A and B are shown apart, each in its own frame.
Chain A
Amino acid sequence: MFVSLNWLKQYIDIDHIDPEDLAEQISKTGIEVDGIEHFASATNNVVVGYVESCEQHPNADKLNLCQVNVGDETLQIICGAPNVAQGQKVAVAKPGAVLPGNFKIKKAKLRGVESNGMICSLQELGVDEKYVPKAFSEGIFVFPDEVEVGDDVNQLLNLDDVIFEFDLTPNRSDALSMLGVAYEVAAILDVDVHLPQTNVSTTAEKAEDKVSVRVDAPQQNPYYGAFLVKDISIGPSPLWMRNYLMAAGIRPINNVVDITNYVLLEYGQPLHAFDYDQFGSDQVVVRLANEGETMVTLDEQERSLAPHHLVITNGDKPHALAGVMGGADAEVTDQTKTVLIEAAYFDPKTVRQASSDFDLKSESSARFEKGVDPNRVRQAGERACQLLEQYAGATVLDGVAEFDQLDKQEKTVTIWTSTINDRLGTNMTNQEVADILRKLHFHFHQEGETFNVFVPTRRQDIHIFEDMLEEVARIYGYDEIPFTLPQGGSQAGGLTRRQQLKRYIKRFLEGAGLMETVTYSLTNEERINHFISPEIQSEVVSAVPLKMPMSEDHSTLRLSLVPEMLQVISYNLARKQGQLAYYEMGSVFLSHEGEVTKQPAEKERVTGVFTGEWVSHPWQQEKKLVDFFVVKGIVDALFYSLNISVTYKQTKMDGMHPGRTAQLFVNHRPIGFIGQVHPKQEKAYDLNETYVFDLDLDYLLDIHHNAPSFNQIPRNPSVTRDIALVVDQSVHAGDLEHTILTAGGELINDVHVFDVYQGEHLEEGKKSIAFSIHYQDPNRTLTDEEVESSYQAIMDAVKEKHQAVLRG
């Protein structure tokens, strides 16, 4: 909403206030002023001039040589505008004037002839092209005859105006009118509001004799008033009205259209003007459209109507889509003599539906959608009649033909000073509350601290105590409310154990050298099918797609964090960043239904992606690319630090390298995977060798328990036995380790691989794996016999289970 301060001055006295200060106060009190624009800034050297003569320039076909009387002198001015003519009153920038854009006017010679100034177009005076009336868009502006030669053009054209741009919240539709704004500003400044006058000369003829109104859908249209205005002479509207409309961002058309627009802005009440002679009957019938009915709207589009659309008809055919757009047939034209002015209250939802069905948003529909002031509907019609009488030479027929079932009652809301103070933390007195209500121009009955407030119907947003609390608070001033801290029982805030652990895991991975990413949950429908961890894959029935995605790339909820993270790697590689290790914590979304009807399961994962050099220390000849075991080392350390034991099993899964991928298990439950991205996928994402891990974070958090109780630090030495076992290539170290641990008994406190060998001195298809086995009893020294018997048990077991032989 654009608010012209010059226009606003018609209703309230704001002459003594600096516009910037006023904007600040309005913003702080209720409505955000998003912009302050000085309409146009010409100098005081632009005046009204009378073109005494206009002849062709002796040396140029397209130029005119004009003698222009500017009051105190007559200036010879050369003008190139096609519409300049003798007898016009025009805007003259005298030598010394500076026009917008710092365009200085000087005496000059054009093709040998002297020119002492410039006759201006509105654009040259700083008016935005889009507001310039069509008649003047290609040339200079011509004043109506009643202006005086020598008068200041700034004032005449309202060029000194300041325009506020309001950023209105949806509840403040009352400020979609100049009167509403006037009440708002009046409350802030504590001043009176002067309402416009609506009286017309009475005639014997009555509107009701010429037109009748019938409403068949009172719920959608509780009030319809038809005013009749005859003997209209269509022409330009008065200059001041054109100025205000331009300031408000509306292009002037002719007096009838301009007056309906002016009243729309003044009262916030949309009006519609029909050409009465083209209406086709003397009755207005408002009804819901019939199935299959069509009408041609003003924009010459044929519209197919549905039974929830409200139409204004002549008893037979529709002439308007109520509150949204008029029809082409009864449009006001230059030939129009008699006008039917519609002032109506249309149900907000009905208008919103129609405006959205046809994608027609207008100043009118915007106001009906929010609900107009029931007490201003008829007033606005009367105001339009008064202006038509005054500025279109028209005769207004007496009264109005109307249908009226509209509730115009003011709502009552009760407020109490003590409750207000309790909610705001203030110490207002009854007198202060009463003062605020008076400033708001709200009527009320007061008994002690109890106020029965009659909420004016212009404030459709106020229904309950809290709404009034806001009114009182904002006029009292939020700055005046003290700073306090809550008095309630002091709760201990904090993170839950899960939340703490999540932070711990984040810090752990960061300490291990990983950088955190945050990627999108919505991903590409095609990418979604890869890298799904086996335990997710076995559970998911369908992915969760959006009903109406904005783009293919963000159309479906992810089933794995890996695809978007690989995208991040790809993005960085393309920018020559090759040493990358990322982790992310986030949810995947899986539905247990074929077609999603219930909230999907949201499972939290912790995922890592790696590529490039892991260690890069060239001058000491140390350089290591990320490989499976770098990633596994990090994952192992994470599990170690969480005190959770994990096992790995070779696996094959979509998107991953078939020989370099493992599934992870905790307590025999699958909890994720680790491995190299499949070379095909690496190619598809434009990656080098890339490794990932993806873990079921929810489960880790679920099973984690606090650190175990204290274990005695062993006093006795441990015993170490090394064995090198020769086995088939296909035997896994992990399986051997498992066998050793099981067979070796409780005295073993650690087993680890220290060498893997294949090649010379070994049979084809065989490999040797060497283990270091540590024995320890915390309480005593072990005997050789104990260790020996465990060692024998291990040898028997590996021989039997894995056909292992001791390496000679």
Chain B
Amino acid sequence: MKERLQQLEKEALEKVKQVTSLKDLQDVRVSYLGKKGPITEVLRGMGKLSKEERPVIGELANKVRQTITDAIDERKAVIEEEEMERQMEEETIDVTLPGRPVRVGGPHLLTSIVEEIEDLFIGMGFEVREGPEVETDYYNFEALNLPKGHPARDMQDSFYITEELLMRTHTSPVQARTMNQYQGSKSVKMICPGKVYRRDTDDATHSHQFTQIEGLYVDKNVRLSDLKGVLNRFAKQLFGEDREIRLRPSFFPFTEPSVEMDISCKMCHGDGCSVCKQSGWIEILGAGLVHPRVLKMAGYDPEVYSGFAFGMGPERIAMLKYGVDDIRHFYTNDIRFLKQYHQA
């Protein structure tokens, strides 16, 4: 009986070794370890054995059964591994085929520029304010020191709706409205982005609708040097740390003194080139100290309060920053234009 068991073990292990599929392996398991298998049969015949032999053979039979079971399990793991490998081999794909496209949208270039500028001034403690696009003559002109008949009104020929209503020609009325609301009760530190309108024929450099961002800071003891500091930080953050700014005298009815801010030319670093018309500088924005009459009209005492204001055109800034050559691109919304600027 002992020999029989050892023979069975040898036989079984040999078969297990040769088996290559899980099904065959299962057959081996059933045929050796099943209820009708030879080991069970051997155990069944134990009744004929002597009292002394019984536990010895019983132990041996269990050991043989365990050895075969282990061998089958081990073999099973190997075959499963091989089968998985084979299956994955079959599942191989061409990873260079195109993926399922996900629609990618994005902001308009003007929005990107405006938000960038907003964030930059928010970082310096400014609020963002908005106001109506159809303005009263009072807020668009008079409150900004441009009374009726003022020659500077020629500078910005406007779209009138009635004698007293017009499409705002700048976003400065938002400043006037904000100051008017506070009536000198507190300081104002704000920027106002928005759409503005002028009677211009649309061409490469003019648009009857465009965008403006104006800024205003009114407080006690605001100085021109503060304006220079704020604009310097703005210019360096927006255009690069290596850019310099300078102020030149200019004229706006709502500021006195009035200045224009230039930044040093990126192409020639100030030496002069065709981009900057040989001057080494590129005009970016207009600014100045708030005219005392503007303060007074809004209820701020110019003896107590002073302030600075500035205004810029995001289209122009985008054109300089990205080399856009025609302002009309911003408004035709050609998908091939928009797509160029919607990546981070």
Give A contacts to B, CB under 8 Å: 24, 27-32, 169-172, 348-349, 352, 369-370, 422-426, 464-467, 469-470, 473-474, 478-479, 481-496, 499, 503, 506, 509-522, 544-550, 554, 557, 568, 571-572, 575, 577, 580-583, 586-587, 589, 596-600, 602, 614-617, 619-620, 622
Contacts and interface: CB of A to CB of B under 8 A. Distances in A.
B165 A599 contact: yes
Contact of B159 (A369, A483, A546, A582): A546
B334 A572 contact: yes
A684 B106 CA distance: 28
Given A490-B125, A544-B134, A423 B246 contact: no
Interface in B289-344: 289, 291-292, 306, 330-336, 338-339, 342
Contact of A170 (B133, B155, B197, B342): B155
Contact of B151 (A370, A425, A545, A575): A370
A493 B121 contact: yes
Contact of B223 (A424, A492, A514, A589): A424
B186 to A, nearest CB: 10
Contacts of B167: 521-522, 546
A589 B291 contact: no
Nearest to A597: B162
A478 B246 contact: yes
Nearest to B210: A518
A456 B91 CA distance: 93
A469 B221 contact: no
A597 B97 CA distance: 63
B162 A519 contact: no
Contacts of A548: 159-160
Contacts, number: 250
A466 B125 contact: no
Contacts of A586: 195
Contacts of B104: 513
B221 A422 contact: yes
Contacts of A464: 256, 292
Contacts of A171: 251
Given A494-B122, A589-B133, 4 more contacts: A488-B222, A491-B189, A493-B122, A515-B342
Interface string B169-200: 00000000000000000010100000101010
Given A170-B151, A483-B228, A581-B105, A466 B217 contact: no
A496 B129 CA distance: 9
Q: Which of A170, A172, A518, A598 gathers the greatest number of chain B CB atoms within 10 Å?
A: A518
B183 to A, nearest CB: 18
A582 B333 contact: yes
A575 B208 CA distance: 24
Contacts of A499: 128
B82 to A, nearest CB: 31
Interface string B243-276: 0001111110000111110000000000000000
Interface in B70-127: 97-98, 100-108, 110-111, 115, 118, 121-127
A28 B122 contact: no
A614 B101 CA distance: 10
B81 to A, nearest CB: 31
B249 A469 contact: no
Nearest to B159: A546
A257 B165 CA distance: 46
A425 B97 contact: no
A493 B224 contact: no
B231 to A, nearest CB: 9
A503 B107 CA distance: 10
Q: Which of A172, A490, A499, A509 gathers the greatest number of chain B CB atoms within 10 Å?
A: A499
A424 B165 contact: no
